[in-house]
Structure 1
Amino acid sequence: MMEAPDGQPENKPPKIVTAAMLVIGNEILSGRTRDANMYYLAGRLTELGIRLMEARIVPDNEAMIVAAVNDLRARYDYVFTSGGIGPTHDDITADCVAKAFGVGVGIQAEARRRLEAHYEPGMLNEARLRMARIPEGATLIDNPVSAAPGFRIGNVLVMAGVPAIFQAMVASVAPQLTGGDRLLSRTVIAQVPEGAVAQDLGALQQAYPDVDMGSYPAFRGGRASTAIVLRSTDKARLDAAAEAMHGIFRRFGGEPVENEIV
Structure 2
Amino acid sequence: MTASVEPVTAAILVIGDEILSGRTKDRNIGYIAEYLTTLGIDVREVRVVPDVEEEIVTAVNALRARYTYLFTTGGIGPTHDDITADSVAKAFGVSIDVDPRARAMLLEYIKAEDLNEARLRMARIPDGAELVPNPVSKAPGFWIGNVIVMAGVPTIMQAMLDQVAPRLRTGVRMLSETILANAREGDVGGPLRIIAEAHPEVTIGSYPFMGEDGRPNTNLVVRSRDPRKLAAALAEVQAMVDTVRRW
* Global fold match (TM > 0.5): yes
Choose which of 130, 143, 154 in structure 1 pairs with 2:145. Answer: 154
1:25 to 2:47 alignment? no
- Per the alignment, residue 57 of structure 2 pairs with 66
- Per the alignment, residue 100 of structure 2 pairs with 109
- Per the alignment, residue 185 of structure 1 pairs with 176
Task: After superposing the two structures, state which structure 1 stretch, 219-228 or 75-84, moved more.
Answer: 219-228
Task: After superposing the two structures, state which structure 1 stretch, 115-124 or 14-23, moved more.
Answer: 115-124
Quote how far apart the aligned CAs of 1:121 are: 3.3
- Per the alignment, residue 48 of structure 2 pairs with 57
Quote how far apart the aligned CAs of 1:216 are: 0.9
| Structure 1 gap segments, 5+ residues each | 1-12, 256-262
Paired positions, count:
243
Question: Post-superposition, which runs of at least 4 consecutive aligned residues in structure 1 deviate over 3 A?
Answer: none
For 1:134, the aligned partner's letter is I
Superposed, 1:114-133 pairs within 5 Å as: 114-133=105-124
For 2:230, the aligned partner's letter is L
What is the percentage of aligned positions where both structures have the same residue? Answer: 55
Quote how far apart the aligned CAs of 1:214 are: 1.0
CA contact (8 A) 2:204 2:223 kept: yes
**TM-score, normalised to structure 1's length?**
0.90
1:187-218: CA deviation from partner (whole Å, max 9, x where unpaired): 11122111111111001001110001111112
Give the Cα–Cα distance (whole angstroms) in 1 for the partners of residues 113 and 157 of structure 2. Answer: 27
Choose which of 187, 201, 210 in structure 1 pairs with 2:201. Answer: 210
Quote how far apart the aligned CAs of 1:253 are: 2.9
Choose which of 84, 97, 100 in structure 2 pairs with 1:93. Answer: 84
Give the Cα–Cα distance (whole angstroms) in 2 for the partners of residues 65 and 190 of structure 1. Answer: 43
Give the Cα–Cα distance (whole angstroms) in 2 for the partners of residues 55 and 45 of structure 1. Answer: 13
Quote how far apart the aligned CAs of 1:231 are: 0.9
Other structure's SS at 1:35 match? coil
**TM-score, normalised to structure 2's length?**
0.96
Other structure's SS at 1:53 match? strand
Quote how far apart the aligned CAs of 1:89 are: 0.2
For 2:107, the aligned partner's letter is E
- Per the alignment, residue 163 of structure 1 pairs with 154
Give the Cα–Cα distance (whole angstroms) in 2 for the partners of residues 254 and 184 of structure 1. Answer: 28
**Higher RCO (CA < 8 A, seq sep 6+):** 2
Tell me the C-alpha RMSD between the 2 structures. 1.2
Quote how far apart the aligned CAs of 1:14 are: 5.1
Classify 1:209/1:14 alpha carbon distance in 2 versus 1 (closer, same or farther; 3 Å). farther
Give the Cα–Cα distance (whole angstroms) in 1 for the partners of residues 103 and 5 of structure 2. Answer: 43
CA contact (8 A) 1:210 1:232 kept: yes
Give the Cα–Cα distance (whole angstroms) in 1 for the partners of residues 181 and 196 of structure 2. Answer: 18
Choose which of 240, 243, 248 in structure 1 pairs with 2:235. Answer: 243
CA contact (8 A) 1:190 1:226 kept: yes
For 1:240, the aligned partner's letter is A
- Per the alignment, residue 144 of structure 1 pairs with 135
